Amino acid sequence: MADSLMPTYSRLPVTFERGEGAYLWDANGKQYLDAIAGIAVCSVGHAHPDIAEAIYDQAKKLVHTSNLYQLDLQQRLGEKLCQLSGLKEVFFSNSGAEANEAAIKLARRYASQNNIVNPEIIVVSGSFHGRTLATLSATGNEKIKEGFEPLVSGFIQVPYNDIEAIKTVAKNHPNVVAVLVEPIQGEGGVNIPDEHYLATIRELCNQYNWLMMLDEIQTGMGRTGKWFAFQHTTIKPDVMTLAKALGNGVPIGACIAGEKAAGILTAGTHGSTFGGNPLACRAALTVIDIMEQHDLCQQAQKQGNYLLQQFKAQLGQPQVEHIRGKGLMIGIELTEECTGLVKQALEKGVLINVTAGKVIRLLPPLVIDQQQADQIIATVIELVDTI
């Protein structure tokens, strides 16, 4: 059936026809509980009526005019994101990789303004930043880069969660201009750094005049129980990127700059035909409305704590190496490869994901209730028992 598609994905043998909240139904009418939400995208649930209504209403008025003109909805979304993050100005893209491309270009431009030639950006092992040439070059996973050489230069990789390694680079590389890191690694296996990691990176960025750039594409928009994961700390980044849950499935990304990084990407230095068009911005504004109305950050925290606590209490098998998470971003690391569990879970009517080979990753919609959380717990426990 998929002969006419490039085989870039090994897809599971299921076709979903419709969704509602945390549920999906396939072409045969079988119901599934979605504990991955289109990879942390559909946070307010599938087919949310307010979003459907907003998209329809907007489509009847205006979908696109380009960034040649003033866009009121883009202005409003920009203001809202600045208000939620405490940052200053936004560039809108259509995806996560493009949001990171904007951040990388911003860092290059920052270097050029400061007369730094051959600038370098510190990145970390196990990271994921996207599939475009620059973002895959920044990504700390050899498999993703393999066969795509020559890569984009200007990235120095250090081990994740290793402050000393960053300090060593600081001493030996006067041309560093930025650090790009995920507050919690998603694709890398739901890896949570030590408590002071981000704050110490912040201090180093201040000391060396680097930009602190956080990739919150997966952790942002309430996933970890705060609007943005950095809000679990007292620091603020200079640049933050968003995408995934921002439009609940309508493609939109954002690169947001704080004081130190504002005013660097000026007219003519960057752009996007579609970026921040009225349809996408209307969807994202509606997502934020729904999240505020239903206090979904709080919900993510509550259900996330419950899931984590239950897993820690009930998953005592020797094949369970580590259970970790923040909000509704949860990883259960097993001692061995377990990608086969995804299909077994599908058969049981629950959608899960396995990343980094042996980490069961759960990213359910932020709207799940206790009973749905219990179903996820029961299914995962049953599956781990089969290992």
Ligand X SMILES: *Cc1c(COP(=O)(O)O)cnc(C)c1O
**Counting contacts by CB under 6 A, is residue 215 touching ligand X?**
yes
Q: Which two tokens stand for residue 378?
A: 């029961």
Q: Indicate the residue whose CB is closest to ligand X.
A: 96
Query: Is 237 one of the binding residues for ligand X (CB under 6 A)?
Result: no
Q: Which residue has the tokens 């549920």?
A: 23
311 catalytic residue (yes or no): no
Q: Give ∠ CA 260-242-91 in degrees, rounded to 5.
A: 55
Instruction: Please state at what angle helix 163-172 crosses helix 197-208, rounded to 10 degrees.
Output: 10
DSSP string, 194-261: -TTHHHHHHHHHHHHT-EEEEE-TTTTTTTTSSSSGGGGSS---SEEEE-GGGGTTS--EEEEE-GGG
Burial 350-386 (b: 16+ CB within 10 A, else e): bbbbbbbebbbbbbbbbbbeeebbebbbebbbebbee
Applying CB under 6 A, does 275 fall inside the site for ligand X?
A: no
Judged by CB under 6 A, the stretch of 2-10, 30-38, 49-57, 91-99 that binds ligand X is 91-99
223 binds ligand X (CB under 6 A): no
Q: Closer CB to ligand X, residue 128 or residue 155?
A: 128
**DSSP character string of 306-317:** HHHHHHHHH---
Piece of 25-33, 181-189, 200-208, 272-280 that binds ligand X (CB under 6 A):
181-189
Q: Per CB under 6 A, does 193 bind ligand X?
A: no
The reply on whether position 218 binds ligand X by CB under 6 A is yes
Active site residue 128: yes
Residue 215 known to be catalytic = yes
241/310 with CB nearer ligand X: 241
Question: Could you tell me the smallest distance in angstroms from the CB atom of residue 304 to ligand X?
Answer: 17
Cβ at position 253, least distance to ligand X in Å: 6
Catalytic residue among 34, 92, 155, 215: 215
DSSP secondary structure of 32-78: EEESSHHHHT-TT-BT-HHHHHHHHHHHHH-S---TTS--HHHHHHH
Which one of 128, 155, 230, 274 is the catalytic residue?
128
Number of other CB atoms surrounding residue 142 within 10 Å:
8
CB nearer ligand X, residue 140 or residue 384: 140
Residue 224 lies near ligand X (rule: CB under 6 A)? no
Q: What is the rounded radius of gyration, in angstroms, for the C-alpha atoms of the chain?
A: 21
Q: Which of these ranges, 215-223, 283-291, 311-319, 326-334, lies near ligand X under the rule CB under 6 A?
A: 215-223
Interface stretch with ligand X, choices 22-30, 96-104, 167-175, 368-376 (CB under 6 A): 96-104
Say which amino acid occupies 8.
T
Restricted to residues 126-155, the positions that interact with ligand X (CB under 6 A) are 128-130
In this structure, are strands 155-158 and 120-124 parallel, antiparallel, or unpaired? parallel
Unique residue bearing structure tokens 């209504």: 53
- Exactly one of 107, 217, 288, 332 binds ligand X (CB under 6 A); that residue is 217
Does residue 254 interact with ligand X by CB under 6 A?
A: no
The reply on whether position 95 binds ligand X by CB under 6 A is: yes
The residue within the footprint of ligand X, chosen from 81, 103, 184, 243 (CB under 6 A), is: 243
* Cis geometry, peptide bond prior to residue 150 (ω within 30 degrees of 0): yes
In the complex with ligand X, the residue whose CB is nearer, 93 or 286, is 93
Q: Among residues 243 and 283, whose Cβ is nearest to ligand X?
A: 243
Residue 384 region by backbone torsions, left for phi larger than 0, else alpha for psi between -120 and 50, else beta: alpha
Helices and strands in the chain: count of H runs, count of E runs: 12, 15
Residue number, 300 or 383, with CB nearest to ligand X: 300
Beta carbon nearer to ligand X, 38 or 278: 38
Active site residues: 128, 215, 244
Q: Under the rule (CB under 6 A), what is the footprint of ligand X?
A: 95-97, 100, 128-130, 182, 186-187, 215, 217-218, 243-244
